[in-house]
Chains A and B, each alone.
Chain A
Amino acid sequence: MSEEYTNNKIETKAVDSSSGSYAPPIEKVPAKEAPEQELYHAKSFWTKWVFSQDAKVIGVQYGLTATAIGLIGLVLSWGMRLQLGFPETFSFLGPATYYQSVTMHGMIMVIYLLTALFLGGFGNYLIPLMVGARDMVFPYVNMVSYWMFLVAVLVFISSFFVPGGPTGAGWTLYPPQAILPGTPGSEYGIVLMLISLSLFVIGFTMGGLNYVITVLQARTRGMTLMRMPLTVWGIFTATVLALLAFPALLVACIMMTLDSLLGTSFFMPDIFTMGEKLKTGGGSPILFQHLFWFFGHPEVYIVALPAFGIVSDLISVHARKNIFGCRMMVWAIVIIGALSFVVWAHHMYVSGMNPYFGFFFATTTLIIAVPTAIKVYNWVLTLWRGNIHLTIPMLFALGFIVTFVNGGITGLFLGNVIIDIPLSDTYFVVAHFHMVMGIAPLMVVFGAIYHWYPLITGRHLNQTLGKIHFWVTFVGAYAIYFPMHYLGFIGVPRRYFEMYDSPYMTSGVGLNQFITVAALIVGFTQILFLYNIFTSWYKGEKSERNPWKANSLEWHTPDYPPTHGNFGKELPVVYRWPYDFSVPGSDKEYIPQNVPPSQVPTAKVEIT
């Protein structure tokens, strides 16, 4: 590494000569330190679009695969809703199929859709472009990461077609029931699920390696960490969380696979069935819960932090205002990330832990509300006296804020042990987590797609269809999940196949039917959205360069949409943070990150 230290000296000199004066001639570009990355130049159709090493193509591949599997998750939820709303009319789901639908729906949405979309999709597409790199640092490993993900998805889907069908153990896959007869798919389904998850973790680690090292080491000149867009901060922190949390899932999966295949008893307690003791015994199911939730809670923030980052950028761009408290936003992301590792047992209040344990975890859980609230206040304060353009990305961003506050507040309820115990395993919990980690991040996904679609394809999505999509999704989501809170309060338990004539269902029957109808409508609107995506790809209105007048680097590539290598001959040099909107004294409404100070001599410093 001697060559790096010598370069360090050159760079120090460059700084010394320029510091001291207030407005120095910054045109002096710092010496390039490392030689430019050698890119793999694809020759054939296959290496360009299929086995591609270009992060942009890989991002789109991740996005399409995740959307495809997400569609299966959506259809599964329709089946469950029809069963819950109209158990007599639509009786095509038996209890076993119902549980399998619940399990597969949960696993698809949390892991294969949201995680893959935010980190694999947006992460791959946006990180190199936003930090000013030509590609990820290990493009080949990045490609392998996608193909591992695809294999994981295929193994996952194949479990639908094995004897016994997919596992029906719930997305938490708690042993011992997950691998004991009586649970659907306890023989082959669960094993395929565990293998698929393990493959996902391995594939993700390869991708995560790329995201982290690209952000740390491959930024362009002038791009300090604090000058990165918050999107990159969110994705970066989430990736660090994922690299540390996914191993817990892997460990749990490996041990349960062995329990299931080899008859070991890592998690299998002493069990008597038909009057006989099983051969396995002595294991601890609680240990699995700890491992699972040590992964599972950071997982919530692996989905939420990229959403936080992306929505900050959407709000800033579409309100033409710098993000309020930018540093505070970064701190909040980092603090939430750190805290997310010490709250996992709030998912286990009713598992029979020591009550003092619950006290500790309730405290840490409620502390997370502080940085989260800071973020919400800062979004609202960014909007305050902003020049708000009610574009579709902005609508979705606003929808996100409302939904996230809503889901967050019910989270405060559930974070307290004493309130959680009566509400645990009721529809209140279902409503809470769908609001906070289903609808809220999805709002951001949609907003981000409407925002960056022109960058990816050079065309706009259809605006009318977009408005319909937003309003039906937004209002529909509340029509679905608000009544569920009430169902939870009157004590309707979750995971039940049918409530039959239970006394507390008298007022719930109509609500359940209402929810089902709303869910079907919202679901069909998502298909409208997919139709919009695919038709606009070749029929959509052509977008001019940088249609939203954003500052971050991805909109300022020489080719639009960006092509192989991202930045043409010369990598851009960054002179400012990405939030220079309506800068006082400047004659320009916005100043992109790569505009040197000499081109905007009158611009003053914004006080933030």
Chain B
Amino acid sequence: MSKRELNIFKLLSQKPWESSQATIDNAHDGKTLGLSKANLGVRTIMVVSTVIFSLFVVSYSDRMLVHDWKSLSEPWLLLINTVILIFTSLVFHKTKILSDQNKFEKAKNGLLLVGFLTFAFITGQLLVWQHYVNLGQYASTNPANAFFYLFTALHGLHVLGGLFFWGRATTKLFQNNYSVTKIKQAIRLCSVYWHFMIIVWIVLFGLMIAT
């Protein structure tokens, strides 16, 4: 039985009480998807985050139609941060390839670089905040500002959450206290999450630039 190819409609139309189905079912190993639980966990988290950010985008689109909306002029620093984040994502991708090839010594450097760049990104975002605060552009000044602070803060929190798991993987790798399959999976999933973060940022940043 190729249970992992079942689509949901086929799955829901099984008749568990029939003996022909029972023969198939008895050999079932109890897994629905061919994914590890960590992989599925990260995917679920990304789905939930996508819902959150989508609802914010909807709120943004609704709110910007009102007359009091005054768009922010984005400083060049924000562009640099975006480039940093894209670069981080690329480095992480490279690191993932290295770890998949069991080249963990090189992957260590990659992970360190990722960490450095990510912290640089967060610092950059805080500098942008400082820039706006110095200009007197507070969250309460205009709804566009409020959304800007909200988006950057939430995105930043998500990145920090990713850094927590990055930290765990990196520590394990440097202490040589890991099983090869697990550390590979950790690096792979972290890199996926970083790609997710860059997509979210580009959507949010694009939305703020475009309007």
Contacts and interface: CB of A to CB of B under 8 A. Distances in A.
Interface of A: 1, 3-5, 7-8, 11-12, 14-15, 18-19, 22-24, 26, 30-34, 131-132, 137-138, 205, 209, 212-213, 216-227, 243-244, 247-248, 250-251, 254-255, 258, 262-266, 279-284, 287, 291, 294, 322, 326-327, 330-331, 334, 573-577, 579-580, 597, 605-606, 608
Contact of B2 (A12, A213, A223, A574): A12
A217 B28 contact: no
A86 B55 CA distance: 45
Contacts of B62: 284, 287
A264 B60 CA distance: 13
A226 B14 contact: yes
A570 B72 CA distance: 62
Nearest to A571: B30
Contacts of B39: 1
Contacts, number: 192
Interface string B134-172: 000011100100100010001000000000000000000
**B interface, how many residues as a size bin?**
35 or more
B29 to A, nearest CB: 4
Contacts of B69: 282
B181 A608 contact: no
B59 A251 contact: yes
Contact of A209 (B45, B51, B139, B154): B45
15 contacts: A1-B34, A3-B181, A7-B29, A11-B29, A12-B1, A33-B29, A138-B37, A216-B40, A219-B31, A222-B30, A224-B28, A227-B16, A243-B44, A251-B59, A284-B62
A573 B48 CA distance: 33
A26 B44 CA distance: 36
Given A12-B1, A33-B29, 8 more contacts: A15-B1, A26-B22, A26-B26, A216-B40, A217-B37, A224-B3, A264-B143, A327-B12
B155 to A, nearest CB: 13
A194 to B, nearest CB: 14
Contact of B68 (A31, A258, A266, A281): A281
A580 B17 CA distance: 9
Contacts of B40: 213, 216-217
B79 interface: no
Contact of A283 (B23, B25, B45, B143): B143
B18 A605 contact: yes
A244 B3 CA distance: 26
A243 B48 contact: yes
B11 A225 contact: yes
Contact of A251 (B44, B55, B140): B55
Interface of B: 1-4, 11-19, 22-37, 39-41, 44-45, 47-48, 51-52, 55-56, 59, 62-63, 66-69, 138-140, 143, 146, 150, 154, 181
B44 A283 contact: no
A327 B143 CA distance: 50
Contacts of A284: 62-63, 66
A31 B27 CA distance: 9
Given A222-B30, A266-B146, A608 B17 contact: yes
A262 B148 CA distance: 14
Q: Which of A5, A138, A327, A331 has the most CB of B within 10 A?
A: A327
B31 A248 contact: no
Contact of B143 (A8, A30, A282, A605): A282
A225 to B, nearest CB: 6
A266 B146 CA distance: 8
B27 A11 contact: yes
Nearest to B66: A282
A225 B33 CA distance: 11
Nearest to A17: B27
Contacts of B12: 226, 327, 330-331, 334
A213 B37 contact: yes
Contact of A223 (B1, B28, B143): B28
Nearest to B49: A247
Nearest to A216: B32
A243 B47 contact: yes
A-B CB proximity, top 3 nearest: A219-B30, A263-B140, A264-B146
Contacts of B150: 254-255, 258
B63 A283 contact: yes
Contact of B34 (A5, A19, A254): A5
A280 B24 CA distance: 64
A30 B26 contact: yes
Given A3-B181, A287-B62, A223 B30 contact: yes
Given A12-B2, A138-B37, A258-B139, A221 B55 contact: no
Contacts of B55: 247-248, 251, 291, 294
A264 B140 contact: yes
Contacts of A279: 140
Which of B25, B45, B154 lies at the interface centre, i.e. has the most chain A CB atoms within 10 A of its CB?
Answer: B25
Contacts of B48: 205, 243-244, 247
B160 to A, nearest CB: 14
A221 B31 CA distance: 8
A282 B68 contact: yes
Nearest to B42: A209
A418 B143 CA distance: 37
